[in-house]
Amino acid sequence: MRRQAVQRTKESGPGGPRGPVATRAQLLDAAAVVFASRGFHDATVREICRAAGANVAAVSYHFGDKGRLYSAVLRETGRRAALIAAPVRDAAPANPPAKRLGAFVRSMLSMILAEGPASLHGQILAREMIDPTAALDQVVAEFMRPQAEHLQGVVRELVGPKVPAADVRRLALSVVSQILFYKHCRPVLERLYPGECPGAAQLDELTRHITAFSLAALRGLARPGSKRRALEP
């Protein structure tokens, strides 16, 4: 009663190297949902298959085992994240750095604050950060490192050439930390300030706040001597 004669593609001949795509794709979608809500270890193959309307043996048949299914989901995660982030990085490199910083914050926040199916992969990434699996290396290399280097470039433009590279890196981390916070600490925020937890509707407001906070900090620290002043009480 759960799957009524799933649509089968006609081009899936038995001789072709690729079998019917339906079950495999449904398995991937269902796995993303379950992995996102339960985590890798707590997610069960049976629950994934039940959600996909497939037999328990389907995971073993189509992916080999649970771990390789997770890897496939995470590969899709990285692919989607890169698709969202790449255009923001490449577009309008001649824009003023303040504007580019705002665009970066907004695109990353839109991933963080996503709701519904779009939020699945962000949730999986958040779990992967605290409880990494072997698949994290690939995500860092393909998605996070380009993001980090882009942001460092923007920060460099804002603070000028005199600031050491190590400081630029720390400054960039202070920016992203404000964004990721609303993903990692959402359960805490929901309990601290019930009812006013930022969702997709607050994208504009949050973008404005984080960008303004970061710009004020970067401009203040770029002024020579201000760093020392900020330190001494």
Partner DNA sequence: CCCCGGTTCAAACAGTTGTTTGACATTTCA
Partner DNA sequence: TGAAATGTCAAACAACTGTTTGAACCGGGG
15 binds, among a copy of itself, DNA, none (CB under 5 to 8 A by kind): DNA
- Which residue stretch of 2-10, 82-90, 103-111, 135-143 sits at the interface with DNA (rule: CB under 7 A)? 2-10
Number of Cβ within 10 Å of residue 142's Cβ equals 14
- Contact between 75 and a copy of itself (CB under 8 A)? no
**Should residue 124 be labelled a site residue for DNA when binding is judged by CB under 7 A?**
no
Choose the stretch contacting a copy of itself; rule: CB under 8 A; options: 21-29, 83-91, 111-119, 125-133. 125-133
- Selection from DNA, a copy of itself, none that 80 binds (CB < 5 to 8 A by kind) is none
CB 158 within 8 Å of CB 211: no
In the complex with a copy of itself, the residue whose CB is nearer, 22 or 221, is: 221
DSSP 3-state assignment of 191? helix
Told to check if 184 binds a copy of itself by CB under 8 A, we report yes
Asked if residue 36 binds DNA (CB under 7 A), the reply is no
In this structure, how many other beta carbons lie within 10 angstroms of the beta carbon of residue 87?
Answer: 11
CA distance 165 to 226: 18
Kindly state whether residue 191 participates in binding a copy of itself, applying the rule CB under 8 A.
yes
The single-letter code of the amino acid at 159 is: V
Nearest approach, Cβ of residue 27 and DNA (Å):
9
Part of the chain binding DNA (CB under 7 A), chosen from 50-58, 88-96, 165-173, 180-188: 50-58
- Stated as kind and residue range, the H or E segment containing 84 is helix 66-90
- Give the 3-state secondary structure of 19-69: CCHHHHHHHHHHHHHHHHHHCCCCCCHHHHHHHHCCCCHHHHHHHCCHHHH
User: Cα–Cα–Cα angle for 19, 24, 29, nearest 5°?
Assistant: 155
User: Is position 107 an interface residue for a copy of itself (rule: CB under 8 A)?
Assistant: no
Interface residues toward DNA, by CB under 7 A? 3, 6, 8, 10, 12-20, 22-23, 43-47, 54-62, 65-67
